[in-house]
Amino acid sequence: MTFDDEKDYIMRIIKEVARVLFSLMLGKKYVAVEMEKDNGYEVSGKKLEDFLMMIDQGMINEAENQLLDNIDYSDKENVAAAALFYQYLSEKSESFLTEHDFSKGEVLDGMNRLVQKAGYGDLLNIVEGLQVL
């Protein structure tokens, strides 16, 4: 697997985890999770759009820290916002992430921690297994 293939693989895994997570949390089948900056999701009163703007400004670590410091893992809207946060982050180029002290691997680790703490256990392992098939 080349470096570019690995980055694309991580992005596909993140998108699939977000799709399955939304399906599990909301009890509906989602073909794709749409990424809209103005989608109304919030974490402790702060709009997801604000977190995404921080990413665009290169404040990735600060945005992730604020998100994770305030998230209520029992609140489906908070978990959905965090999943969209990581999906959006996974779509950034490796050079953008590196320039701002982040990596695709850290995005995948963040999504994994999210699903673990939200009570969806091995969702990432299941999705990765499906991707290999």
> What per-residue confidence (pLDDT) applies to 111?
87
> What per-residue confidence (pLDDT) applies to 97?
95
> What per-residue confidence (pLDDT) applies to 89?
93
Strand partners, 46: 43
Tell me which residue of 6, 32, 31 sits closest to 90, measured CA to CA. 6
- Below-50 pLDDT ranges, the chain: 1, 3, 5, 31-32, 130-133
> What per-residue confidence (pLDDT) applies to 133?
37
Predicted model pTM: 0.78
Q: Which two tokens stand for residue 73?
A: 């893992």
C-alpha span between 59 and 51 (Å, rounded)? 9
Tell me which residue of 23, 32, 20, 33 sits closest to 123, measured CA to CA. 20
> What per-residue confidence (pLDDT) applies to 102?
96
Count of other CB atoms within 10 angstroms of residue 7: 18
